[in-house]
Amino acid sequence: LNKKKISKVYHPIRVSYYSTFFFKRDIKLILFSIMHNLLEYDKNMKLFSYLKKENLKRLQTLYIDDNKKYNEKYLPDYYKKIYSSDLLTKKLKCLDKLDNLFNLNKNKDKNLKKKYLFEIKKYILPLAKKLSKSLYFYLNLLYLHNIKLLNQK
């Protein structure tokens, strides 16, 4: 396995691990964290027949079109769906972004980093603030750290 594939395997495991810090032992959140990237990996939807309808709906809500994810018109609509989704989906979105922020410094594209950090500030931090003070604190800390790193280069 190459590094990128290994990283894709570890990402859901890390996200589920973070969930135990911020939301105690929420078994549904832990399990959903492990499967949250299924749409990205199972384009033929072979695994979807095994999912409950509510989890399939969550996965569809979380799925972001990579070709449009920094489109100024797409992002507000995407986050409107996230903001109107259930609590589990909102928590997962914030935890997913937390893990991504830990690894943002590995990306060499400064412009992409700026867009990503704008997304965090505009959509994720306000959402996290409503969900958990400690999650908001850590997300904000990582956000500020990444801003500092971006401005140093």
pLDDT tens string 91-109: 999 999 999 999 999 889 9
Q: List, in order, residues 6 or more apart from 134 with CB less than 8 Å away.
A: 21, 22
pLDDT band at 45 (very low <50, low <70, confident <90, very high): low
**Mean pLDDT computed over 74-85:** 95
Give this prediction's pTM: 0.87
At position 18, the amino acid (one-letter code) is: Y
**Calpha distance 142→60 (Å, rounded):** 27
**Calpha distance 150→99 (Å, rounded):** 18
**Calpha distance 121→140 (Å, rounded):** 8
Helix boundaries (H) for 63-132 = 74-83, 87-103, 110-119, 125-131
Do the beta carbons of residue 58 and residue 88 sit within 8 Å? Answer: yes
Q: How many CA atoms lie within 13 A of 7 on its CB side?
A: 9
Q: What is the pLDDT of residue 76?
A: 94
Do the beta carbons of residue 29 and residue 91 sit within 8 Å? Answer: yes
**Calpha distance 60→144 (Å, rounded):** 30
How large is the C-alpha radius of gyration of the chain?
15
Q: Considering only CA atoms, which of 78, 69, 130, 73 is closest in space to residue 100?
A: 69
Mean pLDDT of the chain: 86
CA angle in degrees (0–180, nearest 5) for 65-68-69 = 75
